[in-house]
Every structure is written in structure tokens, then in C-alpha cells.
Chains A and B, each alone.
Chain A
Amino acid sequence: MMPLFFVFLLAPIAVAIALYRRNPRRFLDGPTEDVPLRLLRWAIGLLSPQRAEWGQAMLGELGHLDGRWRRTRFAISCASAALVMPPWGQAAAGLWAMVAITAASFAIYADLTVHYQLGAGGWFGVGGWIALTVVLLICVGYLLAASALLRRPGIALPGLAGGLFATLVGLALSGFTAVDQVTYIPAGWHRGVAVLAVPAAIGVASTLWRRDPAAGRRVARLAAFSAGLLQLLYATVAVAILGGGGPPDEDGGFTVRGTVTDRLANNIVDLMVSTLIIALVGWAAAALTGYLVRRSPTPAADPFQLRGR
């Protein structure tokens, strides 16, 4: 539990330091830009390079609008257009892959809910349906966040590759069978690898590859979302294979419905925790790498060679 404790303790401190370093005046004088401008700036960053002029057009128009409500409405509307405006290029393939993975997880989850009548259990007899709705909301949230990251230039491929890498390492540690999935309890160095080494490797590698800590942080976030959704699919398939069977052999007093519910709930907790850890540790590693690379002195040019040219 110790690495987890450190992650959750240090992450908010790291975020606060990063925000302060980016713009110290924000803490002294309040926000220097209003929310609509920041929202629109973020949204037009998602546009493909050939649509950059249209993003500037939206910004220019916002610059001539007065009134908070008017500006907010304009910015929200433009941001929604920028989010979906084609062309998407390679990002479209990545998004469709993630949508397919999420749809498969949700379909299996819904099938298990119906098959084991999980919908009839829990709070007021509708707990299973509430859980299914929560899963849907979480997955849609992940997809929306991932779609914004996928549209950033040069993020899709390393982000999805990072997610696949984290998933494969996680499966290699836990084991690939359905039983491994439902009985795995990480301990010792396994936890260190999954919680620290892999996310940090993603953050460091992406920052060095793209030579940009901001890109590294985005890659880490996309890797976190894609790894979370991939792991959810694998774990949900494992529950579908085992159902209420499999270990533990001794009946702990659970009904089949209770066992399946418990396993599915564990998957959802794992989804959120693993996503958070990869995103936070990867983000911190990318930021640290960027800082160290910036600080490392560039080799001085040889004056004799320069004179000889």
C-alpha cells in the first residue's frame, strides 16, 4: 500500500507546484484570462493543423464579444464544434478502436447483469442497473477524455501504445487466465512495477521521444485511459468465463449473484485506480523528465571548429 499512499499524497502537491510554476500571478492576482477564453483556447488546440485558421477565427470573434454569458455561450458552442470537426486523421482509427473495446465491455457487463439477474439485487432491487449505469457513465467519460487527447498531434500512437504496454505488463504480472484475473492480489515488487515503473516509463519515454513534457503528459493520460478500458474488457471477459464458479473453492457464504457482483465491482475499482495511477505517475515522470532535460547543459560548440568553417 505504501506506493499507493505516496502517489495519492504527492500527486496533488505536484499539480499545485506545476500550476504555480506555470503562472504564479494566478495565485496572486486571480485568473488572468476568463473561463470562455481558456476553454476556447483548449478546444482549438484539438483542431487539425489545416483547420488552425478556423480556430483563430473563433478566438478573434470571442475577442470582440462582451458580457460573460454571451462569451460563455459562444465559447461552449465553438468548443463543441471544435471537438468533432473533421479531419481526424489517425485519431479516428484510435477512437473507433477504443469505442469498440468499451462497447464490448459494456455489452458483456449488461449480459452478465441480465443473465445473473444482478439488476434485481442491491439497493431497492435496482442496484445492478445502477451499477450498469455507473459503468456506462465512467466509460463514456473515459472515451470523451481520450477523444480530446487523441486529436492532439502526435499523441494518438504513443498514447495507445503506452496503454497496450501497461496492459500487457499488468497481464504478465497477474497471469493471463480468467482465474488469475479474479484471484490476483499484487504484492511486493509487482506493485512497484505496476504502480511506479510502468507509468513512469511511459511518461519518461514519451517526453524523450516527443522532446516535449506537455506531449509526454498527454501521452501518459491517454495511456491511462486506454489501459484502463483494455484491462476492463479483459477482466469482464474473465468474469463472464468463470461466472460464479472458480476459486475460492470453499464457499464463503456468497450466492452466485453475490460472487459475480463482487467480481464486477472489483473490476470497476481496478479500472478507476489503475487509470488514476498511470495518469498521475506518468504525468509526474513526464514533468520531471522535461525539467531535467531543460536543465541539462548543452555541450558548448568547439570554437576552433567554428572558426574553421
Chain B
Amino acid sequence: MQRNRPPSPQTGNVLRALAADPARWRYGYDLGTEVNLKSGSLYPILVRLADRGLLETAWEPSLDSRPPRHLYRLTGDGRDFVAALTVARSDRRATHRRNRLSEA
């Protein structure tokens, strides 16, 4: 069963970072550095996003003796999800602003 709970602030940051350039494949370490998340927090988020079909993964072929790297980018559903999240967020802000004005 898929939960419709809003994502955590950390997950939101990861989603927004991936949505900034949705066509580009990203490395895990660089993504973690960009959103200021340790790998121990980042990978569980990536796993959950992939499980929900919001994240696409691929392997970058290894050019030297180093191991291949995992790459990430948003799927179509992932982009829609981020768009919906952005709309919901701006709606919440607008409602909050209206409430504060009416209280004043």
C-alpha cells in the first residue's frame, strides 16, 4: 500500500535537487553533498524513491580499475510528483499567509 504522507524535508530537498535538471544523471555522493545529507540518510531516501517509482537508476560503466557507479534521475512520475509537491507547497504558503492576515 502506498502512503500519501508528504515527504520529509530531507526527501523534499533531494527531490528538488534532482528536479533542478531532471534529464541529468546524478552520482549519490555529489547529490548528498549538494543537499547536505550524509550518505547514511541519503541512500535510504533514494531507496524509498526508487521503490515508489519516482527515481530511475542506472550503472555508469567503469573506465578504469575503479568499480562502476550508480546514477540517479527522476522518472516521469517523479517529475509529476515534484511538480505536484511544489504546487501543494505554494498553496499551503498562500493559505498560511491568508490566515495570518485574517488573524491580524
Contact = CB atoms under 8 A, between A and B. Distances in A.
B93 interface: no
Nearest to A85: B44
Interface residues of B, number: 18
A54 B50 CA distance: 11
Most chain B beta-carbon neighbours within 10 Å: one of A59, A74, A81: A81
A81 B41 contact: yes
Interface in B18-64: 27-29, 38-41, 43-44, 46-47, 57, 59
B43 A57 contact: yes
Given A77-B39, A80-B40, A61 B27 contact: yes
Contacts, number: 58
A78 interface: yes
A51 interface: yes
A58 interface: yes
B92 interface: no
26 contacts: A53-B57, A53-B70, A54-B46, A54-B70, A57-B28, A58-B28, A58-B39, A59-B67, A60-B68, A60-B70, A61-B27, A61-B28, A63-B67, A63-B69, A64-B29, A73-B38, A74-B29, A76-B40, A77-B39, A79-B40, A80-B40, A81-B41, A81-B43, A81-B44, A85-B44, A85-B47
The 4 closest A-B pairs by CB, nearest first: A57-B70, A77-B40, A81-B40, A63-B67
A51 B47 contact: yes
Most chain A beta-carbon neighbours within 10 Å: one of B38, B39, B47: B39
A201 B59 CA distance: 45
A61 B40 contact: no
A158 to B, nearest CB: 29
B3 interface: no
Contacts of A77: 38-41
A61 B44 contact: no
A73 B41 CA distance: 13
B66 interface: yes
Given A60-B68, A85-B44, 13 more contacts: A56-B67, A57-B57, A61-B29, A64-B29, A64-B66, A73-B38, A74-B39, A77-B38, A77-B40, A78-B43, A80-B40, A81-B40, A81-B43
Contacts of A54: 43, 46-47, 70
Contacts of A134: none
A65 interface: yes
Interface of B: 27-29, 38-41, 43-44, 46-47, 57, 59, 66-70
A42 to B, nearest CB: 15
Given A54-B47, A81-B44, A60 B39 contact: no
Most chain A beta-carbon neighbours within 10 Å: one of B40, B41, B66, B68: B40
A85 B46 CA distance: 12
Nearest to A51: B47
A60 B41 contact: no
A222 B96 CA distance: 54
Interface in A45-76: 51, 53-54, 56-61, 63-65, 73-74, 76
Given A54-B43, A74-B39, A78-B40, A61 B70 contact: yes
Contacts of B44: 81, 85
A85 B68 CA distance: 22
A300 to B, nearest CB: 41
A213 to B, nearest CB: 28
